[in-house]
Amino acid sequence: MSETTAHLHAPAQAHSAQQHPIRLYLVVWGMLFVLSAFSYMVDYLGVQGLARWTLIIIFMMLKAGLIVAVFMHMAWERLALVYAILLPPAAVLIFTALMVSEANYTILTRLAFFSTAP
Amino acid sequence: MAQSLDNSEFRPTGLRGVAADFSSDQRAFKTASWGKAMMWIFLLSDTFVFGCFLLAYMTARMSTPVPWPNPSEVFALHIGGQDVPLILIAIMTFVLISSSGTMAMAVNFGYRRERGRTAALMLATALLGATFVGMQAFEWTKLISEGVRPWENPWGAPQFGSTFFMITGFHGTHVTIGVIFLLIVARKVWRGDYDLARRGFFTSRKGQYESVEIMGLYWHFVDLVWVFIFAFFYLW
């Protein structure tokens, strides 16, 4: 029974089977190439300081967003999965804040107690 | 029967949908099969692994009074009589992004049941992945011959070597496993396992083209991790 009815249910299954035009993938591929070229240019042109860090982060987030949303099809998943997967990494940001404070304390004590040269 | 439950037009959307899905007393991920959900959860755990590596690198770099070696110069190549900064890393980035593009198209052709094209695109992906690993091996060889060790290097803070080998080594391992995984799935596609719903030798579950998409999730994740490594380790 299931062998023959499987075909009848094929349109209903299209929701879980990700079907999108090839053109979409090619456009995203092109955008990733351009964004990578931009982030390489940041280094090649020797942009420094705050401008460098801002540009690196912007290009990185745009590339990551395109890969997750289109290539990994997250844009077409239901919100339950999107939240379950994309919210937990926010904990890494809290960890980052903790480690920034910790690293500042370490360098402070190193400079205060071992500063022979700098 | 199962398909009629999958009709998502009858389900609430937005936050109400999240609450409804999680409280449905059924599977929570209505549009993702268990295989896809499990791959996503594995990738989430891998995100934490790489997140911790990058955090350890950040902490080491922020807390050392010794200057950090300039990656732009360390990874420069001598081409045509001048040093081109970071050129090998840029090429590696383009190779990996291209492999993600071919992988995405392989998934698409898989769902169209064009198994020849799917297998060919997966082989192209594997080839680009192997190229990436080859270039990484070249980069490691170059740095080791220049005196970079996990405990010292000629240019500055000794932590540079340990973070470099740890982060790129772990990522390279992921790419290598991905290439093997790609070759296995490509062979199954080529043989028509997913058209015939042939059972897998290990799980003895019926094969289907969703396996190509799940394989793709892993491959795109490897590319995703490289985006962060490129930004934080090589460009920062």
* A6 within domain boundaries: yes
pLDDT of res. B1: 41
Residues B164 and B103 in one domain: yes
Same-domain check for residues A15 and A43: yes
Strand, coil or helix: what is B207?
A: coil
Identify the pLDDT of residue B193: 85
Compute the distance between CA of residue B93 and CA of residue B90 in angstroms, rounded to an integer: 5
> Over 60: is that where the pLDDT of A75 sits?
yes
Residues B46 and B159 in one domain: yes
Question: Cβ–Cβ of B72/A43 closer than 8 Å?
Answer: yes
Residues B24 and B67 in one domain: no
The residue of chain B nearest to residue A57, with distances taken between CA atoms, is: B231
Question: B213 and B107 in contact (C-beta within 8 Å)?
Answer: yes
Alpha-carbon distance A2 to nearest alpha carbon in chain B (angstroms): 10
Looking at the 3D structure of chain B, how many domains does it have?
2
Residues 56-115 of A with CB under 8 A from B: 56-57, 59-60, 63-64, 67-68, 70-73, 76-81, 83-85, 88-89, 92, 95-96, 99-100, 102-104, 106-107, 110-111, 114-115
Same domain assignment for residues B38 and B8: no
Specify the pLDDT at position B4: 47
Beta carbons of B11 and A58 less than 8 angstroms apart: no
Side-chain-facing half-sphere of B14: CA atoms under 13 Å? 1
Taking Cα atoms as reference points, which of B31, B14, B2 lies closest to residue B213? B31
* B88 and B137 within one domain: yes
Domain span holding position A114:
88-118
In angstroms, rounded to a whole number, what is the distance separating the alpha carbons of residues A37 and B23? 45
Percent of chain A with pLDDT over 90: 66
Section B16-23 average pLDDT: 89
pLDDT interval class at B165 (50, 70, 90): very high
Q: Give the per-residue pLDDT at B6.
A: 55
Question: For B79-121, what is each residue's pLDDT tens digit?
Answer: 877 888 888 999 999 999 999 999 999 999 999 999 899 999 9
- Going by the DSSP 8-state scheme, the letter that residue B220 receives in this structure is H
Residue type at position B75 = F
**Is residue B69 located within the same domain as residue B26?**
no
| pTM of the predicted protein model | 0.89
Give the integer Cα–Cα distance in Å for B178 and B66.
Answer: 37
Both structure tokens of A117:
């040269």
Contact B95, B130 (CB under 8 A): no
Domain span at B7: 1-31
CA neighbor of A18 nearest in space, from B107, B99, B195: B107
Q: Are residues B23 and B85 in the same domain?
A: no
**B128 shares its domain with B11:** no
**Same domain for B20 and B93?**
no
* Domain identity same for A6 and A53: yes
DSSP B24: S
d(CA B101, CA A26): 7
B190-226 pLDDT, tens digit per residue, is 998 888 888 877 777 787 888 999 999 999 999 999 9
Give a yes or no: residue A83 inside a domain.
no
Q: Are B234 and B71 in contact (CB under 8 A)?
A: yes
Same domain, A17 and A51: yes
User: Has residue A15 been placed in a domain?
Assistant: yes
- CB contacts, 8 Å: A118 with chain B: 65
- For residue A87, the chain B residues in CB contact (below 8 A) are none
Query: Is residue A60 in some structural domain?
Result: yes
Q: Are residues B123 and B145 in the same domain?
A: yes
Q: Nearest CA to CA, how far is B44 from chain A (Å)?
A: 6
Q: Within this chain, do residues A64 and A93 fall inside the same structural domain, yes or no?
A: no
Give me the number of domains chain A comprises. 2
Mark whether A70 and A93 lie in a shared domain: no
Tell me the chain A residues in contact with residue B86 when contact means C-beta distances shorter than 8 Å. 40, 43-44
Instruction: Please tell me whether residues A93 and A60 are part of one structural domain.
Output: no
- Residue B3 predicted with pLDDT over 60: no
Q: DSSP states of B113-152 as a string?
A: T-HHHHHHHHHHHHHHHHHHHHHHHHHHHHHHHTT-BTTB
Q: How many CB atoms lie within 10 A of CB B138?
A: 13
* ipTM of the complex model: 0.88
- Same structural domain, B119 and B187: yes
Same domain, A99 and A68: no
CATH of the domain at B211: 1.20.120.80
Ramachandran angles phi, psi of B203, nearest 5°: -90, -15
Residue B155's contacts (CB-CB under 8 Å, 6 or more residues apart) are: B69, B70, B73, B74
Optimal mutation site among A2, A7, A78, A82, interface B, most CBs of chain B within 10 A: A78
